[in-house]
């Protein structure tokens, strides 16, 4: 599991963006993804098809770099709101993508049309990234040690060619350094994209190793448990609906689309809910996890389709809020300087859950159609128990923003 965590593309791409800068890494990922999809469009053999999948599989994870960039650009108080909106926008893309792809593939040569369309979209995104005014972007951060509400810094393109360093790696004062040592596990500047590959790989490896050996195991374990529980809820959903309620695939598809749409819209609720909790992310995470656990249980024990619809409605909302919470908590614990590494590591943990969950789902499905969600309830309960045990320790360390404010 540790090897899968450290070798996952999400982990090293996020860490690589910390090393060479957001702009350079984002441009590289977008351009190489476009090349991969372009090769898919011209592939005429299995060998060509397999080779074309290599750059796509390695460099398509640009969303983690975008999340890291957003965490650099906004203050800690605004981060949940902005992340929620970003997740909502990306969810809309995941909903529209299959629809557009299905429409294109219905035409003659539809696969090749879809491949070239994807390549064109990645090239368009790369052009937008290139045209963004990176040197004029203001980066707002809270400076609690100096008593200022926020401060603005210039964000360079991350190439290192002009000698400027990113705001996240700028030299802090002694008070900021002390606060950084208390809250963060990742520090260090960036190197140029033109530096030798061994130096970049060394920097990436050291950052990932620091995350893997840090005291953030509780957050990553919670993410893993909840990722498996949520995947178990969705796994074999169509088969379970057919066996339990004799639903047709068409009706089940409508239900899945309904839940996905709600999940996308729920991203806009993250900001108001966070303000309602006074930015106490551990409490919000605990309550969303308890709600998710209860909804999985309701789905597993549902005697009618109406209860399944009810559980799906609130399940989409609770999981969206929970994902934003755990990301914000990881960034708060690890420090903003390693946001790319932390976000990539979190997505790598989720990827491990995607590997483990199908095996557990198959074994549980052999017992009962309700087996996968029932197992998900147990894993969610384990996550709740872990949170109840760790939240008091987080409060003593200043994990919650309220406690940090009281200490200052």
Look at residue 387 and tell me whether its pLDDT is greater than 70. Answer: yes
Instruction: State the CB neighbour count (10 A cutoff) for residue 81.
Output: 19
Look at residue 76 and tell me whether its pLDDT is greater than 60. Answer: yes
- State the average pLDDT over residues 26-37: 90
Ordered DSSP codes for 184-220: -S-------TTS-HHHHHHHHHHHHHHHHTSS-HHHH
What residues does each domain of the chain span?
9-134, 217-395
Predicted confidence (pLDDT) per residue in 44-70, tens digit:
888 888 888 888 888 887 888 888 888
Higher pLDDT, 188 or 114: 114
- Token pair 């009962």 is found at 368
Higher pLDDT, 7 or 287: 287
Q: Is 407 helix (H, G, I), strand (E, B) or coil?
A: helix
Look at residue 324 and tell me whether its pLDDT is greater than 90. Answer: no
Highest mean pLDDT among 77-81, 340-344, 390-394: 77-81
Cβ–Cβ under 8 Å, residues 343 and 70:
no
Residue 156's pLDDT band (cuts 50, 70, 90): very low
Q: Is 370 helix (H, G, I), strand (E, B) or coil?
A: coil
Instruction: State the CB neighbour count (10 A cutoff) for residue 130.
Output: 14
The answer to which of 123-137, 214-228, 285-299, 329-343 has the lowest mean pLDDT is 329-343
* Average pLDDT of the residues of the chain: 75
- pLDDT at position 214 is 65
Look at residue 272 and tell me whether its pLDDT is greater than 70. Answer: yes
| 162 DSSP β-pair partners | none
DSSP 8-class letter at 160: -
- pLDDT at position 291 is 95
Cβ–Cβ under 8 Å, residues 26 and 60:
no
What CATH fold (topology level) applies to the domain 217-395? Growth Hormone; Chain: A; (1.20.1250)
363 vs 215: CA distance, rounded Å: 33
**Quick one: what percent of the chain has pLDDT higher than 90?**
20
Residues in the chain: 408
Look at residue 159 and tell me whether its pLDDT is greater than 60. Answer: no
For the chain, the 3-state helix, strand and coil shares in percent, each to the nearest 5, are: 80, 5, 20
Cβ–Cβ under 8 Å, residues 299 and 232:
no
| 55 DSSP β-pair partners | none
- pLDDT at position 107 is 80
């Amino acid at each position: 599991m540790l090897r899968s965590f450290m070798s996952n593309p999400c982990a090293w791409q996020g860490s690589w963006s910390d090393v060479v800068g957001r702009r350079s890494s984002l441009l590289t990922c977008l351009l190489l993804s476009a090349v991969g999809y372009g090769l898919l469009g011209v592939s005429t053999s299995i060998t060509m098809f397999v080779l074309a999948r290599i750059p796509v599989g390695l460099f398509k994870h640009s969303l983690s770099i975008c999340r890291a960039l957003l965490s650099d650009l906004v203050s800690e108080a605004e981060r949940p709101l902005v992340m929620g909106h970003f997740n909502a926008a990306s969810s809309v893309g995941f909903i529209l993508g299959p629809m557009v792809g299905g429409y294109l593939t219905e035409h003659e040569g539809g696969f090749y049309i879809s491949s070239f369309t994807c390549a064109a979209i990645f090239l368009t995104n790369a052009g937008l990234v290139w045209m963004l005014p990176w040197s004029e972007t203001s980066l707002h951060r809270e400076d609690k040690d100096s008593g200022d509400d926020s401060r603005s810094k210039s964000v360079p393109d991350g190439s290192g060619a002009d000698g400027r360093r990113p705001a996240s790696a700028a030299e802090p004062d002694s008070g900021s350094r002390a606060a950084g040592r208390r809250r963060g596990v990742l520090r260090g500047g960036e190197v140029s994209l033109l530096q030798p590959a061994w130096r970049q790989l060394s920097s990436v490896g050291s950052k990932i190793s620091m995350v893997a050996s840090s005291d953030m195991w509780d957050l990553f374990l919670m993410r893993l448990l909840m990722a498996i529980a949520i995947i178990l809820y969705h796994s074999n959903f169509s088969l379970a609906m057919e066996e339990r309620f004799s639903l047709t695939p068409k009706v089940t598809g409508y239900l899945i689309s309904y839940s996905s749409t709600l999940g996308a819209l729920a991203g806009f609720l993250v900001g108001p809910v966070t303000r309602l909790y006074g930015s106490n992310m551990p409490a919000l995470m605990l309550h969303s996890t308890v709600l998710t656990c209860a909804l999985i249980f309701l789905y597993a024990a549902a005697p009618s389709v109406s209860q399944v619809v009810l559980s799906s409605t609130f399940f989409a909302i609770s999981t969206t809020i929970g994902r934003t919470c755990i990301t914000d908590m990881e960034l708060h614990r690890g420090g903003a300087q390693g946001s790319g590494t932390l976000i990539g590591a979190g997505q790598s943990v989720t990827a491990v859950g995607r590997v483990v969950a199908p095996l557990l789902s198959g074994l549980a499905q052999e017992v009962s159609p309700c087996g996968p969600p029932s197992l998900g309830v147990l894993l969610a309960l384990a996550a709740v128990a872990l949170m109840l045990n760790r939240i008091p320790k987080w409060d003593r360390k200043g994990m919650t923003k309220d406690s940090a404010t009281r200490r200052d």
